[in-house]
Structures are given as structure tokens and as C-alpha cells.
Amino acid sequence: MVHILNGEQFADENILEKIFKRARELEEADAEGQAPKLLSGKIVATVFYETSTRTRLSFESGALKLGGGVISVADPKTSSASKGESLEDAIKVIGGYSDIIVLRHPENGAAARAADVSRVPVINAGDGSNEHPTQALYDLYSIQKELGKIDGLKIAFMSDLRYQRNAHSLIPLFCLFKNLEIYFIGPTELALPQVYKDRLAAAGIKFKELPQIDSILPEIDVLYVGRVFKERFQDEAEYEKLKKSFFVDQNTLARMKKDSLILHVMPRVFEIDPKVDADPRAGYFRQAKNGLYVRMALLLYALDLY
Ligand code: CP
């Protein structure tokens, strides 16, 4: 039984290549209407104790395309979590109704707690501000697909790195690529936690923190934008102060390389002017679609159905 809990477990070139190859095959098969029905007879439980559009619906769509069935908690208010049932009890019960559980939860470490008691594989679909490994995998897949490589690129994050959990899951994956240059842009209040900087430093990955993007904009290959995570702030005034820390518009585009790529973790709130969407460098909607195929590959990986 393989649980998918964090980015670190994918910090292996062979595993990454296997998942990316499978995702490409599934995308090609789906384009022909021929996705293999490898989940026939299997039930995927999507258990979301926090809101989601992309993650829940892409897992459910992927499960259905692969011939599986889906049961879902889309809102904890409609489940017995609202009556005080523990996560552990819920997972033990749901594991009796399903073959795999995709879990989103507001608490850091919830996916590992679920995996400890689960009789079926658990996929971490985001646990608090801790990790979001399936998003990190399709982020990397998107960079590879759009730019043809990962190593050697200059990647700038202009986002809330304190809370952006997919960025945390990406750190060990970046450590596989020794010639990356990474920039973390933004106010110190939203800086990447030290533990992740230590991980990059230990792997010898070059990175720099900068308050503004201007000086490096013409050099970067990937601009990864994200929102400020309102739901994680204890202090609303602090969120109000920081919420518009990041902004990309046509002036930003004008200073970027012609063959660069803009990604966004999504949902977008204020950070990218919708006028940017028409530019071929705006890759965030393609990135979200890639999530479908990477997640199909991950369902098969966790269920050992390769
Ligand atoms: N990026 C992401 O996880 O989106 P959702 O919150 O909509 O699932």
C-alpha cells in the first residue's frame, strides 16, 4: 500500500519519470477518448474538510475517466465531522467503503495521521499549510511539458511562501536538479520557512530571497505566482496589509523573456490581471488541466495499477 503524503517521497528521478510518463500516456489516451478503465470496480473517496475546486474535481474526473466510482465529502458540514467525529474514526469507516482516500484537511499533519490508521491508500490533497504533493508534481510536470526541461532554469516564486503548501512539497523535488536557480520574491512576513531553505542549501541548490521582482524579471524562465492565503491568517488586519503583495500585468509581461512561462497555484484572486490570460506565456489554465492527468497517474501509482 502506497500513501502519497509529501514531496520528499517523490525526490527520486525514476519515480518522477514513471509518473510523468504515465501522465503523458493518459493524456494522449484521453484525447482519443480511450483512457484505460484500470479503476473499474474501484471506489475513490474524496474527503475534503476544506474548500476546493481543482483538486477535488480533477481527482473525481480522473477516477471516472479511469472507470472507477467516486464517493465524496465535499463539505465537512454535511459529514459527521460536524458532530465531532475524529479524523481517525472517519478514515477507518471510509476505508471500509472505498479503495483509496483522497483527503484535504485544514490541519498540518492530518494526512499522515489518516495514513497511520487507514486500511487503504491515502493521498494528501493538501494538509493545512504543510504540503500539497499532487499539486507540486503537476507544477513540475507543467514546467517540463511547456519548456522541455527543468534543470538549468531560473524559477521565481512571487507568492505567499509561508503558507503555500505546494511550494513546500516542491522543495525536495527541486533538490533533484542541481543547476536550478530559484528566487523567492515578497515581503518577509510571507517568506519561505527556514526548514525548506535549509533543505535547498543542503542539496547545494542556488536560491535568493528578494523583496521585489524587478531586477530579475528579464532573466527568469518561470514566474510562479500565488495568492496570499487569507484562510491561514489569525490576524485579519495583517492579511489586509499583505493581500495585494503580488501583481502581474501586461507591463510585467513586457519585461519577461518571450519563451518564459507564468504559472499560478490557483485560485487567482488579485495577482494576475485577466488581460494577461491571452498571452501564450500564461500557462496557469493549462497547468490546472495537467493536474487531471498527473492525478490519474497518481491514483494508479498508489493502487499499484501500473
Ligand atoms: N490549487 C488548488 O489546490 O486548488 P483548489 O483549492 O481549488 O483545489
Per DSSP, the residues of 165-211 read HHHHHHHHHHTT-TT-EEEEES-GGGPPPHHHHHHHHHTT-EEEEES
Task: Give nearest CA residue, ligand 1 atom 6.
Answer: 52
C-alpha distances out from residue 285 to 126, 167, 266, 289, 291, Å: 20, 18, 9, 6, 10
Are 106 and 77 contacting, i.e. CB atoms less than 8 angstroms apart? no
Told to judge if 54 belongs to the known catalytic residues of this protein, a careful annotator would answer yes
Tell the burial category of 212 from Cβ atoms under 10 Å away from its Cβ (0-12, 13-18, 19+): exposed
Q: What is the CATH number of domain 7-132+291-302?
A: 3.40.50.1370
How many whole angstroms separate alpha carbon 55 and alpha carbon 32?
A: 24
Mutate which of 47, 48, 55, 170 for ligand 1? The one with the most ligand atoms within 8 Å of its CB, which is 55
Locate the domains of the chain by residue range.
7-132+291-302, 133-288
Q: Which of 219, 175, 180 is nearest to 199 (CA)?
A: 175
How many whole angstroms separate alpha carbon 100 and alpha carbon 96?
A: 10
How many CB atoms lie under 10 A from the CB of residue 195?
A: 9
How many whole angstroms separate alpha carbon 90 and alpha carbon 259?
A: 47
**pLDDT reported for residue 131:** 98
Number of H helices, E strands in the chain: 10, 9
Angle between helices 284-302 and 13-31 in degrees, nearest 10: 110
Q: Give the list of residues 6+ apart from residue 44 with CB closer than 8 angstroms, or none.
A: 59, 60, 63, 68, 69, 70, 71, 98, 99, 100, 102, 299
How many whole angstroms separate alpha carbon 189 and alpha carbon 243?
A: 11
Question: Are the folds of 7-132+291-302 and 133-288 the same?
Answer: yes
The H or E element containing residue 122 is: strand 122-127
SS (H, E, C) 18-34: HHHHHHHHHHHHHHCCC
The H or E element containing residue 93 is: helix 87-94
Are 272 and 251 contacting, i.e. CB atoms less than 8 angstroms apart? no
Told to judge if 104 belongs to the known catalytic residues of this protein, a careful annotator would answer yes
CB 266 less than 6 A from any atom of ligand 1: yes
Q: What is the CATH number of domain 133-288?
A: 3.40.50.1370
CB 124 less than 6 A from any atom of ligand 1: no
Told to judge if 268 belongs to the known catalytic residues of this protein, a careful annotator would answer no
Q: Which of 168, 184, 160 is nearest to 238 (CA)?
A: 160
**pLDDT reported for residue 306:** 77
Q: pLDDT tens for the chain, 306 residues: list them.
A: 899 999 999 999 999 999 999 999 999 999 999 999 999 999 999 999 999 999 999 999 999 999 999 999 999 999 999 999 999 999 999 999 999 999 999 999 999 999 999 999 999 999 999 999 999 999 999 999 999 999 999 999 999 999 999 999 999 999 999 999 999 999 999 999 999 999 999 999 999 999 999 999 999 999 999 999 999 999 999 999 999 999 999 999 999 999 999 999 999 999 999 999 999 999 999 999 999 999 999 999 999 997
Atom of ligand 1 nearest to the CA of 57: 8
Task: Give nearest CA residue, ligand 1 atom 5.
Answer: 52
Question: Can you tell me whether residue 82 is helix, strand or coil?
Answer: helix
